[in-house]
Structure formats: C-alpha cells, structure tokens
Amino acid sequence: MSLLGRIFPYPRLFVALLAMWLLLNRSASPGQIILGAIIAYVASWTMAAFQPPPVRVRRPLAVLKLGWRVLADIFRSNYAVARIILFSRNPGFTSGFMTIPLEMKDQYGLATLSIILAATPGTLWIDYDPAKGDLLLHVLDLVDESHWTELVKHRYETLLMEIFE
Amino acid sequence: MTPADAASGLGASVPWATAVLAWSITIAQVLLALAMACAVLRMLQGPRAQDRVLGLDTFYVNTMLLLLTFGLRTGSDIYFEAALVISLLGFVGSVAFAKFLMRGEVIE
Amino acid sequence: MMMNAPDLPGWAALAVSFFLMAGAIITFIGSVGLWRLESFYARVHAPTLGATLGTGGVLIASMICFSVLQTRPVLHEVLIAVFLTVTTPVTLMLLARAALHRDRVEASPDVPGPRLPWERKRRQRQ
C-alpha cells in the first residue's frame, strides 16, 4: 500500500463526500472546505472498517460510454412504457418473468447492472442466483424474450465486464 | 428589470414569457396533484399490501416534486430541504415496509 | 389561485417552463400507469417513469431557475437526483421480492416457482 493509500483509504469516496458536504451547505468557503474534509476523512475511515473488496475500474472511458448508453435507454424505455400505459387497451397484459444466464461474476458489476435495469422503466431485476449465475427479471412488455436477452447480454453485460473484470 | 439582471448580462424579463412560466407552473402543480391522487387511489384500492406500499412510495416521490414546484413558484430555496428530507424518509419507510412484508418483522 | 412567477429573463423562463412541464407530464403518466396497470408486477414498472425522467425534468427546471435568480451555479438539486437514482431501484427490487416471496408462499400460479434452491436451503437451516 502506498503512502497516499495509507492516509486516504478511499480517495474517491473522500472526494464524493466532500462534494456532497459543500453542495448541502451551498458554499465553498475555506471554513466549510476544512470542516467537510474532516468529516469526509472520518467517514472514509469508518468505511474502511467494513473492509469492502476493492473496486477496480479498468477502463474509465468505457464508463462514459456506459453512462451515455444508459441515458439513451432511459429515454427510449420511458417512451415505450408511456405508450403502453396510455394507449394499450389491456395495459400490463404482456408482462412476465424471464431468466437470463449471466457470465459476469464481479459483484460491483452485478450491482451496477441491477441499478441500470431498475432505473430503465419496463425492466426490473428481481433475483440473482450466484451458484448458477441466473438472473430473474421482470419485464413489462414480454412479447419477444430474445430482445431482452440481447439487451442485457450484449448492450450491458459485455461493457460491464470490460469495466470491472 | 432589476440592476442585478442588467449587471449579470443574462437579459431582461419578457412579460409574455413570464406569463408562460406562471401558467406552466400552475399546470405542473395540477398534474402533480393528479398524480398524487392516482397514488392515493392505488393505496386505498390495494388489493394487496404490496400495492399499497408501492402507492405510498410513488406518493412520496410525487410530493417531493410538488414541493420543488412550489419552490419554483415562490423563488425560495426553503422547499429544497423539505424535498430532500421527504425523499430520504420515503426511502427508509418503503424499505422497512418491504422488509416487513418479506419477513413479518422489521428488525431481525 | 396565485399566478405569480419568478422574474426570469425570457429565455430562462421558457426553458424552465419546458423542463417543468416535461417532468410533470412524465410523472403524471407514471402515476396513471400505477392506477391503470392490472397486476402488481406490471405496476412495479410505472413509478420508475416519475423517478427517472420526471424527477430529472423538474430538477433541471429548478437548477436553471435558481442559477439565474442567484446569478451563480446552483447545483444542490444534483443531490436529490443522485439519491433517487440509488434508492429507487433498491425500493422497487425489495418490494418485488417481497411480493414474489408472498406469492410463492401461497403457491400462486402466476409466479415462477418452485422456490429456488438456495432459498430452500436457508429455510431448512432456520
């Protein structure tokens, strides 16, 4: 462990907490920066007590690509779900459960995938079987199961595996 | 136009644009109130406990948005704090309800 | 009803109106879905509209409005956005799991069963 790593156990968490403190106080005066830095420092050492496994982000550029992809999908799926709600004569009739086998094992990758799937309307991560690697998903518009498998496997999983594994 | 506006160079207020803004804030408030009514309807109708909790969670989010809209109307920052607190409490409440539905008790 | 509005420059007033209306309409559609969709598992998807683009629209409107009013960037609305992005999935996931658990206990035909193996193991240990 380097010297910097010994002083700051989680530098990204430290920066995020400091930013949150300054945003909540709506000021960037020196006093607030010092107070926020002390609090963020103590909080990041509290986090160290939990000993979470380290996050390795391999390709920072791929994170931006993923963010853009998710944003585009949020717009697209909002439109699709709004259309079902407003114009379908029998809304929710085509919804159903499906399972998708995942190859990704990294827990941060899986957590990110669960947030992505829950944040795009129309899909919801329900359960994950770590032994078999099966993901149980609920989909609002389950007309074509292969479309959703394609979406999860090729649009998200490969990119997440590039980032985290 | 106030001197501050002229100094910042952001431009003067236009009467018709301000009228559009006033109207759209009113319409947004009505829409959000109707959205809250839908959530309440779901809370009352059920049919099962999970439907009611889902209605309550949506109600919290809609309330938060309505508060932010009130903040826009009055031009004051105070509503932001209330919105933040509501979103925090709504999350904790819904998670506690979900745990209760799953196990029959909140704290294990 | 009060019809006053903050005294914004023309372009800002129009931008705030646009984002506010977009957010409110999307949230409204989501809540209508909560009321109209026919089963619990279908209804779970509806509030996500309000929690993503609905909240996004209203927050952007608020950010533009206060940044122009106070003539400095006001960004604390980002906190609500980040917070909702992280918490809404957790809430919906937990609720859907709770519902699934209850339906499985009742052996409802609409949900995938039988109980998955690791859950069965946990039950035996208790």
Is A119–C116 a contact, with Cβ atoms under 8 angstroms apart? no
Task: Write down the pLDDT at residue A94.
Answer: 79
pLDDT digits (tens, 9 = 90+) for A60-88: 788 888 889 889 998 988 998 888 888 87
Alpha carbons A81 and A122: distance in angstroms, whole number: 6
The single-letter code of the amino acid at A155 is R
The mean per-residue pLDDT over the stretch A112-130 comes to: 85
Nearest to C13 among B21, B62, B75 (CB): B21
Tokens coding A22: 């300054």
Is A85–C39 a contact, with Cβ atoms under 8 angstroms apart? no
What is the number of other CB atoms lying within 10 angstroms of the CB of residue A31? 9
pLDDT tops 90 at residue B35: yes
CA diameter of chain A: 64
Sign, CA torsion B8/B13/B14/B20: positive
Please state the pTM of the whole predicted model: 0.83
Which residue has better confidence, C20 or C76? C20
Which residue has better confidence, A142 or C112? A142
Residues near A146 by beta carbon (within 8 Å), at least 6 away in sequence: none
The mean per-residue pLDDT over the stretch A21-38 comes to: 84
pLDDT tops 80 at residue A100: yes
Cα separations in angstroms, C1 against B27, C17, C23? 12, 18, 22
Subunits in contact with chain C (3 or more CB pairs closer than 8 Å): A, B
Chain A residues 28-67 with a CB less than 8 Å from chain C: none
* Chain C nearest C-alpha distance from A16 (Å): 11
Interfacial residues of C (vs A; Cβ cutoff 8 Å)? 26, 29-30, 32-33, 36-39, 41-46, 48-49, 51-53, 74-76, 78-79, 85-86, 88-89, 92-93, 96-97, 100, 111-112, 116-118
Nearest Cα residue to B52 out of A139, C99, A96, C29: C99
pLDDT tops 80 at residue A3: no
Residue-averaged pLDDT of chain C: 80
Residue C72 DSSP class: S
Would you place residue A119 in the very low, low, confident or very high pLDDT band (cuts 50, 70, 90)? confident
Chain C residues 33-72 with a CB less than 8 Å from chain B: 34-35, 40, 43-44, 46-47, 50-51, 54-55, 58-59, 61-62, 65-66, 68-69, 71
* Chain C nearest C-alpha distance from A128 (Å): 10
**For residue C59, which phi and psi values (nearest 5 degrees)?**
-65, -40
Taking CA–CA distances from B84, the nearest residue in chain C reads C80
Residue-averaged pLDDT of chain A: 83
What is the number of other CB atoms lying within 10 angstroms of the CB of residue A101? 11
Would you place residue A1 in the very low, low, confident or very high pLDDT band (cuts 50, 70, 90)? low
- Measured at the CA of C66, the angle between CA A37 and CA B19, to 5 degrees, comes to 170
pLDDT digits (tens, 9 = 90+) for C109-118: 666 665 544 4
Task: Write down the pLDDT at residue C24.
Answer: 93
pLDDT tops 70 at residue B2: no
Give helix C77-105 / helix B78-103 axis angle, nearest 10°: 20
Percentage above 70 pLDDT, chain A: 96
Strand-strand pairing, A134-139 and A123-129: antiparallel
* Chain C nearest C-alpha distance from A126 (Å): 6
